[in-house]
Structure 1
Amino acid sequence: MDLGVTALDTAATYLGCRSHEVLRATAGDLVPRFALSTKVGYFEGGHSLAPARLRKAVEQAVMELGREPDVVLLHNPEHSQPDAEALAKACGVLTDAATGGLCESWGISTWDPRSLVDLAAPPPDVLMVRCGLLVGIDVLEAAEALVTGWRPRQVWGMSPFGGSTSEPVWEKFDPAMFLRRTSPASRVQATFRAAFALPVVEAVAVGTDNREHLRELVDSLELEVDDQVVREYRQLLRQAA
């Protein structure tokens, strides 16, 4: 919060299914001061889009967090390989949860959106997708197809570093080429800032275990992305595919 972070994102099954309880115990009375999103869909026995299980998971999240989440996301629905009817029913559970006051709004979080492109869904308030320089063109364009088809109010990104800032790939080139040359930036900052354009997202979720890492990322938000370089990069991705 001191760094300017105003939103927290978690999921029911993070931290061995203890994420909500740990967050509440750790943050205490600070929790209501953040916009809070969580995800449902994974259970100890695996993934499920069964309406009754999703409804119970939302209710349990409210109880564990001690407050209603601002957003509840359907967690990787592609994992259950739904047809249009199954996806619509699962979305309906979250729509009803929002209408009934169990959350402010609802959305869908998808790691691999390719199988969802041809499925209709009620317009989610939020769509969360992978973003950044390591996202393949097929996943990138599938995410953009969902934005066009589903028309979410907001689009969020996740995993901008492909899992870690220490991956060898980040030492093989200078991601600052994706920025307008207005001010110096570290490799981490340039990678993070470019992630907001691949695909275009309004917010990006990152880990919170390193305070200095967070500070570096927050400081990068004033940097400008070079849209022409992004377009050229996308063309290279298509050619490579």
Structure 2
Amino acid sequence: MRGADPRIVLGLHRSRHERRLLTAALDLGVTALDTSTNYLGFHSHRVLAQASGDLLPKFTLSTKVGYFPGRKHCLNPVRLRASVEQAVSDLGREPDLVFLHNPEHSLREAAPHGRGVLAQACAALDAASVKGLCAAWGVASWNPAPLLNLIDPTTPKPSVLMVRSGLLVGTGAIDAAENLIKAWDLGDRTVWGMSPFGGSADAPVWSRIDPRLFLRDGARFSRVQAAFRTAYHLPRVDYVAVGTDDRDHLGELVDALACEVEERAIEEYRRLLHDHSRGHSA
């Protein structure tokens, strides 16, 4: 069952890419890194390789393609392939996983040809994987709903899907993610969550609500730990990518993996979300 053995991916969005953070992650047993071509002002790959190149072989490394300088997003297969090749060059190694980054961003403008555009973009990453430019490829989607009507049995199937997860994700986004998981028939260890705190673990919302009610022994853990652990169940994911430059915060999240989630509380919360959604749409 998903979430039975949760794992952490250290995300480098908003990170300073400091060597000490990667060393701390390894010390804590976090051995997966996630970045993107557009992180750190499109310099993430080069800075990561320069600052911590000798540490990178100790990590499973994922990155993303789809955004280009000038705040442009593009699903052109040629540009995507070139972006993967550039990532390999800048990192000094082939990524273990390359995500198609927020394809819905361009698909809104591709109608009525979105199905073909998405299929060609997926095929480009699939071909890059076959060529050895990456070990596998996936799709990272902030809003997966637009993808649902654009895939069919001929669309190349990703190895991994990354979606938003956590208590601040609306029922529509959760349902869309789960429907996409079913449509692509993704199995265990193939679904990742991201943005478990909705942007910041220091946001006021986490002092106003107490996520510990979703844990079986919540008194032993902090609200931040409870919110993080609950994110593995909204929707159900196997890994959660989370960003931080604070070693203590990362350690707190690692400790949160020992939490046991109260499934009945999660299900009741989801029913409340659906009831609220139906009430607003009536």
Establish whether TM, by shorter chain, passes 0.5.
yes
1:44 corresponds to:
69
Deviation sequence 1:92-140 (CA, Å, 0-9, x none): 0110011110000000000011111112132210000000000000001
- Is contact 1:144-1:199 (8 Å) kept? yes
1:152 deviates by: 2.9
State how far apart, in whole Å, the 2-side matches of 1:122 and 1:179 are.
38
| Structure 1 gaps, min length 5 | none
1:53 corresponds to:
79
**Where does 1:126-205 land on structure 2 (aligned, <5 Å)?**
126-153=160-187, 154-181=190-217, 184-205=220-241
**Where does 1:226-241 land on structure 2 (aligned, <5 Å)?**
226-241=262-277
Structure with the bigger RCO (C-alpha within 8 Å, sep 6+) is 2
1:167 deviates by: 1.0
The answer to whether 1:76 aligns with 2:102 is yes
- Is contact 2:225-2:253 (8 Å) kept? yes
TM-score, normalised to structure 2's length? 0.84
The answer to whether 1:99 aligns with 2:130 is yes
1:172 deviates by: 1.1
- Is contact 2:38-2:67 (8 Å) kept? yes
1:183 deviates by: 6.1
| Structure 2 gaps, min length 5 | 1-25, 278-282
2:159 corresponds to:
125
State how far apart, in whole Å, the 1-side matches of 2:205 and 2:60 are.
33
State how far apart, in whole Å, the 2-side matches of 1:182 and 1:170 are.
15
SS at 1:162 equivalent: coil
TM-score, normalised to structure 1's length? 0.98
Range 13-22 or range 175-184, more displaced: 175-184
Amino acid at match of 1:2: D
State how far apart, in whole Å, the 2-side matches of 1:125 and 1:31 are.
22
Range 54-63 or range 183-192, more displaced: 183-192
State how far apart, in whole Å, the 2-side matches of 1:52 and 1:152 are.
27
1:116 corresponds to:
147
RMSD: 1.0
- Is contact 1:124-1:151 (8 Å) kept? no
1:62 corresponds to:
88
Number of residues of Structure 1 aligned to a counterpart in Structure 2? 241
SS at 1:20 equivalent: helix
SS at 2:149 equivalent: coil
State how far apart, in whole Å, the 1-side matches of 2:56 and 2:29 are.
15
Range 7-16 or range 110-119, more displaced: 110-119
State how far apart, in whole Å, the 1-side matches of 2:250 and 2:87 are.
26
Identity %: 57
SS at 1:237 equivalent: helix
Deviation sequence 1:130-156 (CA, Å, 0-9, x none): 000000000010000100001234000
Aligned to 2:49, which of 4, 11, 24?
24
Q: Which runs of 4+ in 1 moved over 3 A?
A: none
